[in-house]
């Protein structure tokens, strides 16, 4: 009997040990790959003690591993360095300190920085740099030319922040865009969504980006909708820095913001299709068909019926299988569930039409 007790103890012990959640454990964020593409979860905007952040650069790599991110960029401010008295300016140093740790974990780490000017013109990130130093100039256009000379991908951050002319597309932005120096915009920064930025990306062919802009330590653990970083899903040809850069220049992105996905139908449609799986039908009665709809992604799909088949509202929670009872006339016939996915936005606040096919008998 004593032995028995010991067995139970060791079993319980494991649960306790697991509860301590070892530093090296990573929980993957779940979004399916698209046909011929690898889905990379990316955060291209964050800070360390080398500008106004509160953590050592390597902490950002540890967070990326733990949270299931595939690529991050450290983007300390060039012009704003409130810790300068204690941490002397050294633009390329955050990347240098974090690089080995990223390689050890297979985290893609393009070198980045934040170009930090009063508004207008505002703040911009440049990533995939060889060195930040040449960007530390007075003239904005020189800075952008230096970034582009390094083949960097650049985007306009949180355009609605701050100052009197915040939120406006001005002459300077037109010039940056027309001269091919600016390639994307943050549609989402942290907990804020920018509908105008969303529309401008559609109108001007800019790549949609979503980032955390995190300054504090990240206490998150779960990859669930409830509490995740705002990130960019990038559909790359392979898991590599060159492929990641190519995909950004090609605009192959979707932004994951709270429980909303924002992007072009071109990417959202196959992402939805690859995420939802029909199980069953389990039973066909005279009047009903019972089916399971499995959502393998980390976003809840919030669906509003467009046709007349299926429940009026339907939420497919992340990582679960939902039982659906469908009123039918012919239980043996194939069915098409036609819905609007209200939280997949193909334009500001505009949901996307989706269909789910239920096989017949």
Looking at residues 319 to 338 of the shown chain, list those that interact with a copy of itself (rule: CB under 8 A): 319-325
Backbone angles phi, psi at 233, to 5 degrees: -85, 125
How far is residue 157's CA from residue 142's CA, in Å, rounded to a whole number? 19
Please tell me whether residue 104 binds a copy of itself under the rule CB under 8 A.
yes
Options 85-93, 112-120, 128-136, 245-253: segment touching a copy of itself (CB under 8 A)? 85-93
Q: Give the SS3 label for residue 316.
A: strand
Q: Is 14 in the site for a copy of itself (CB under 8 A)?
A: yes
Q: Does 10 bind a copy of itself (CB under 8 A)?
A: yes
Total chain residues near a copy of itself (CB under 8 A)? 90
Q: Are 195 and 160 in contact (CB under 8 A)?
A: no
Pairing of strands 207-211, 184-189: parallel
Are 190 and 212 in contact by the 8 Å Cβ rule? The answer is: yes
Do you find a cis peptide bond into 190, omega within 30 degrees of 0? no
Minimum Å gap between C-beta 198 and a copy of itself is 10
Q: If we measure between CA atoms, which residue out of 344, 292, 343, 298 comes closest to residue 317? A: 298
How many Å apart are CA 39 and CA 298, to the nearest integer? 13
353 lines the binding site for a copy of itself (CB under 8 A): no
Q: Does 93 bind a copy of itself (CB under 8 A)?
A: yes
Cβ atoms 284, 317 nearer than 8 A: no
* Under rule CB under 8 A, residue 87 binds a copy of itself: yes
Does 20 contact a copy of itself by CB under 8 A?
yes
Residues within window 167-226 making contact with a copy of itself, judged by CB under 8 A: 191-195, 216-221, 225-226
Judged by CB under 8 A, the chain residues 243 through 262 that form the site for a copy of itself are 257-260
Interaction with a copy of itself in 52-81: which residues (CB under 8 A)?
A: 53-56, 58-59, 62, 65
With binding defined as CB under 8 A, does residue 300 bind a copy of itself? yes
Of 21-29, 135-143, 206-214, 240-248, the segment contacting a copy of itself by CB under 8 A is 21-29
Residue corresponding to tokens 């070198």: 111
Cβ-based nearer residue to a copy of itself, 144 or 281: 281
**Alpha-carbon distance 60 to 72, whole Å?**
8
Calpha distance 44→162 (Å, rounded): 20
Least distance (Å) between residue 219 CB and a copy of itself: 4
Among 32, 120, 270, 280, binds a copy of itself (CB under 8 A): 280
The least distance separating a copy of itself from the CB of residue 8, rounded to whole angstroms, comes to: 7
Least distance (Å) between residue 342 CB and a copy of itself: 6
What is the DSSP-derived secondary structure letter of residue 195?
H
State the DSSP H helix or E strand holding residue 325, giving kind and residue range, or none if neither: strand 320-327
Q: Which is nearer to a copy of itself, 97 or 274 (CB)?
A: 97
Token pair 């509202």: residue: 313
Q: For residues 203 and 350, what is the distance between their CA atoms, to the nearest angstrom?
A: 15
Q: Does 125 bind a copy of itself (CB under 8 A)?
A: no
Q: Does 6 bind a copy of itself (CB under 8 A)?
A: yes
Binding of residue 292 to a copy of itself (CB under 8 A): yes
Of 298, 274, 341, the C-alpha closest to 33 is: 274
Closest separation between CB of residue 92 and a copy of itself, Å?
A: 12
Q: Examine residue 106 and tell whether it contacts a copy of itself (CB under 8 A).
A: yes
């Amino acid at each position: 009997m004593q032995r028995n007790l010991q067995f139970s103890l060791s079993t319980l012990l494991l649960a306790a040990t697991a509860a301590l959640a070892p530093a090296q454990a990573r929980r993957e964020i779940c979004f399916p790959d698209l046909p011929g593409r690898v889905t990379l979860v990316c955060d291209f905007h964050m800070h360390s003690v080398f500008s106004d952040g509160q953590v050592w650069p390597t902490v950002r790599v540890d967070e990326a591993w733990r949270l299931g991110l595939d690529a991050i960029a450290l983007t300390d401010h060039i012009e704003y360095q409130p810790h300068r008295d204690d941490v002397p300016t050294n633009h390329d140093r955050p990347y240098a300190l974090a690089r080995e740790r990223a390689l050890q974990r297979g985290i893609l780490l393009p070198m980045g920085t934040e170009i930090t000017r009063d508004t207008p013109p505002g703040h911009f990130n440049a990533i995939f740099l060889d060195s930040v130093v040449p960007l530390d100039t007075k003239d904005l256009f020189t800075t952008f030319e230096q970034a582009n000379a390094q083949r960097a991908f650049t985007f306009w951050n949180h355009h609605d922040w701050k100052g009197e002319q915040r939120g406006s597309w001005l002459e300077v932005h037109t010039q940056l865009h027309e001269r091919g120096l600016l390639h994307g915009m943050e549609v989402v920064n942290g907990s804020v969504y920018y509908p105008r930025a969303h529309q401008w990306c559609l109108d001007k062919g800019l790549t949609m980006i979503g980032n955390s802009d995190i300054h504090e330590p990240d206490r998150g653990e779960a990859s669930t909708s409830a509490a995740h970083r705002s990130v960019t899903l990038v559909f790359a040809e392979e898991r590599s820095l060159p492929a990641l850069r190519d995909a950004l220049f090609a605009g192959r992105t979707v932004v994951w913001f709270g429980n909303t996905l924002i992007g072009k139908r071109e990417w959202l449609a196959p992402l939805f299709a690859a995420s939802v799986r029909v199980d069953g039908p389990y039973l066909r009665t005279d009047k009903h068909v019972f089916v399971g709809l499995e959502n393998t992604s980390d976003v809840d799909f919030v669906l509003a019926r467009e046709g007349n088949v299926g429940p009026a509202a339907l939420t497919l929670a992340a990582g679960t299988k939902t039982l659906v009872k469908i009123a039918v006339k012919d239980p043996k016939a194939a069915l098409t569930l036609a819905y609007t996915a209200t939280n997949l936005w193909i334009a500001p606040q505009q949901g996307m039409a989706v269909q789910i096919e239920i096989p017949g008998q």
